[in-house]
Amino acid sequence: MTACPAPLSWDTLVDYWAGDLAHGETERVEEHLFGCATCAQAAARVASITEVLREVLPPAVSRARLDALRAAGVVLRESAFSPGERRTVLFERDADLLIHKLGGVDLTGAEHVSLQVVVDSTGERLFGLDEVPFERDEGAVLIACQRHFASLPADTRFELAVHRAGAPTVTRFAYTIVHQFPPA
């Protein structure tokens, strides 16, 4: 296969498969793809990733789900957080998903874990989930941050509540993650 002298950028291919290009730009990309095996191969990878991500990908995922995504060619970047930690993370251009491992949680005897997502600077609640998957052996909940989350406020606080069978009290943990997305 001959290398392309003017390869289409990853961002262009993503925008093409997401349907975010203007009509004329879409035609230009399609014309290039029909005549360029190198870019067509790259576009096929983007298409497969796009299809995987179009499946409902909840904000909290299991380790098994991450393994399946990785096997399908999705590029994951993982970072681990401890309770009470506040840190900035960069959603690098080569990553399809950021995975935040909210760890340091004793999940022994956990019946279920609930999640609240809050804007740290304002206290505004974005959403909550009564039950999310958790990794008992890792002592963690895995959060899948997707690129379209760039439209949300950057300072996100994830609040976990661990519910144990027969325990009247709930153990709570908070993690603040400031997301940075490189300019398009």
Pick from 141, 51, 42: nearest CA to 94: 42
17-76 pLDDT tens trace: 767 788 889 899 899 988 899 888 888 877 776 665 555 578 899 999 999 888 888 899
Q: Which domain holds residue 158?
A: 60-180
Number of domains in the chain: 2
Same domain, 28 and 86: no
Domain assignment present for residue 91? The answer is: yes
Residue 179: C-alpha distances to residues 115, 148, 149 (Å): 18, 12, 9
113-136 pLDDT tens trace: 999 999 999 998 888 899 999 999
Q: How confident is the model at residue 175 (pLDDT cuts 50, 70, 90)?
A: very high
136-159 pLDDT tens trace: 999 999 999 987 777 778 899 999
Same domain, 45 and 98: no
CATH value at residue 165 = 2.60.40
Contact 173, 101 (CB under 8 A): no
Same domain, 94 and 174: yes
Domain assignment present for residue 3? The answer is: no
